């Protein structure tokens, strides 16, 4: 499930536009900055920066630079990034607000992209805001905390993969593509759990099952809110005429758009399944109750004539000839048994049992 946290954007109430106020959970670790600088040849540097001011040397670099910042709660670091790369104050404000929906904002010197990075561990889905700033030769990625899905990209850069033959726009595409690819793994895991739950519904439904269904429905609603707007972002990237994204890279963004549509379709399918699971649960419970009532009804029906016979011979009349008969008691018991067997045979013939 998504961790339930109540983020208070009201802390910004009354402040002027562009005010840097962090909205979200503050991680325990300090801000960390890593840099990967490379070109199509043998030039490659990878380092962890302790002093944010040293980022300035990569601002006008002719090679491709990826600056990854873990932690957006430090206003000094965000303000410094904005000053070095001429980032608009409203963009900096959005960077520190982790409640943003996926979006694209186009500026003369950069593109600002916001999307959600999702992960699922031990049945719990976690959502983290990732912001990307694309400039001519640089991509700045900002995450809420350390830990991401970008290790395959780092490996491709280190191993001099094809990614190094392209520019910063292809790097930006690769980061978004990796995030979208992670969605498929989450949906596959969630789909397996939903399929298992569906089998449980048919065999052993219980009140805990209902809580699990509700949990899955909440997860899918949150997934939809996190992924659905990304379709608009990618569609806007396809239509943009910014020189920051070349025509050959635009084709790759179209491929991500197709993947996003597949993810959305999968979410809608799982939502339909979970919506029907509650009805399936109620139907299964009702069927089991009907089975119990059927058995009880058959038992009661069998005992109706037996109760009648017992009631007749339980009356206190003075003259009842059968009571004088020596075999009256076993005969009445045999009659009761015969009636019960005949009724069971009739019910079985009618396929009621």
120-147 pLDDT tens trace: 888 888 899 999 999 989 999 999 888 8
Q: List pLDDT tens digits, range 21-68.
A: 778 777 777 888 999 999 888 889 999 887 777 888 888 788 999 999
pLDDT higher than threshold 90 for residue 171: yes
Instruction: Look at residues 90, 151, 82, 144 and name the one whose alpha carbon lies nearest to residue 117.
Output: 144
For residue range 172-208, list pLDDT tens digits in order.
999 999 999 999 999 999 999 998 888 888 777 787 8
- The CATH label, of 1.10.3470, 3.30.1560, 1.20.58, 1.10.10, for the domain at 289-349 is 1.20.58
pTM for the structure as a whole: 0.79
* CA-wise closest residue to 111 among 171, 165, 29, 155: 171
From 19-23, 252-256, 311-315, the region with the lowest mean pLDDT: 19-23
Q: Is the predicted pLDDT of residue 5 greater than 50, yes or no?
A: no
CA dihedral (65, 71, 75, 77) positive or negative:
negative
Pairing of strands 124-134, 111-121: antiparallel
Q: In whole angstroms, what is the distance from residue 89 CA to residue 92 CA?
A: 5
Task: Name the helix (H) or strand (E) containing 261.
Answer: helix 247-312
**Between residues 8 and 305, the one the model is more confident about:** 305
Under CATH, what is the fold of the domain 9-283? Beta Polymerase; domain 2 (3.30.460)
Q: How far apart are CA 113 and CA 97, in angstroms?
A: 13
**Domain-wise residue ranges, the chain:** 9-283, 289-349
CA-wise closest residue to 32 among 61, 73, 64: 73
Is it the case that residue 8 has pLDDT exceeding 60?
Answer: no
Which position has the higher pLDDT, 259 or 310? 259
Instruction: Return the higher-pLDDT residue of 25 and 337.
Output: 337
Q: Is the pLDDT of residue 4 over 60?
A: no
Strand order in the sheet with 111-121: 44-49, 32-38, 64-70, 138-143, 124-134, 111-121, 103-106
Q: What mean pLDDT comes out for the span 326-331?
A: 83
């Amino acid at each position: 499930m998504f961790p339930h946290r109540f983020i208070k954007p009201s802390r910004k109430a009354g402040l002027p536009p562009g005010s840097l106020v962090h909205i979200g959970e503050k991680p325990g670790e300090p801000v960390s900055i890593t840099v990967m600088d490379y070109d199509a040849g043998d030039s490659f540097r990878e380092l962890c920066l302790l002093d944010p001011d040293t980022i300035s040397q990569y601002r006008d670099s002719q090679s491709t630079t990826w600056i990854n910042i873990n932690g957006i709660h430090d206003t000094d670091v965000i303000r410094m990034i904005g000053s070095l790369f001429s980032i608009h104050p409203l963009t900096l404000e959005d960077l520190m607000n982790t409640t943003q929906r996926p979006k694209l904002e186009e500026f003369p010197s950069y593109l600002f992209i916001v999307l959600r990075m999702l992960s699922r561990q031990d049945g719990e889905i976690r959502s983290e805001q990732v912001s990307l700033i694309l400039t001519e030769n640089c991509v700045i990625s900002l995450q809420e905390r350390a830990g991401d899905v970008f290790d395959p990209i780092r490996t491709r850069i280190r191993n001099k993969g094809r990614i190094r033959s392209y520019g910063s726009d292809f790097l930006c595409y690769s980061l978004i593509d990796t995030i979208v690819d992670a969605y498929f793994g989450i949906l596959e895991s969630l789909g397996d759990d939903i399929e298992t739950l569906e089998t449980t519904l048919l065999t052993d439904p219980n009140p805990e099952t209902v809580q699990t269904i509700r949990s899955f429905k909440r997860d899918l609603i949150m997934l939809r809110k996190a992924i659905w707007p990304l379709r608009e972002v990618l569609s806007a990237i396809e239509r943009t005429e910014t020189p920051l994204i070349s025509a050959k890279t635009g084709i790759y963004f179209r491929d991500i758009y197709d993947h996003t549509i597949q993810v959305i379709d999968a979410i809608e399918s799982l939502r339909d399944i979970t919506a029907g699971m509650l009805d399936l649960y109620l139907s299964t419970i009702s069927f089991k109750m009907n089975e119990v009532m059927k058995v009880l009804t058959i038992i009661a029906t069998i005992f109706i004539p037996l109760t009648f016979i017992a009631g007749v011979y339980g009356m206190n009349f003075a003259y009842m000839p059968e009571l004088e008969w020596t075999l009256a008691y076993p005969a009445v018991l045999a009659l009761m048994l015969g009636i019960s067997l005949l009724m069971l045979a009739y019910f079985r013939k009618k396929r009621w049992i």
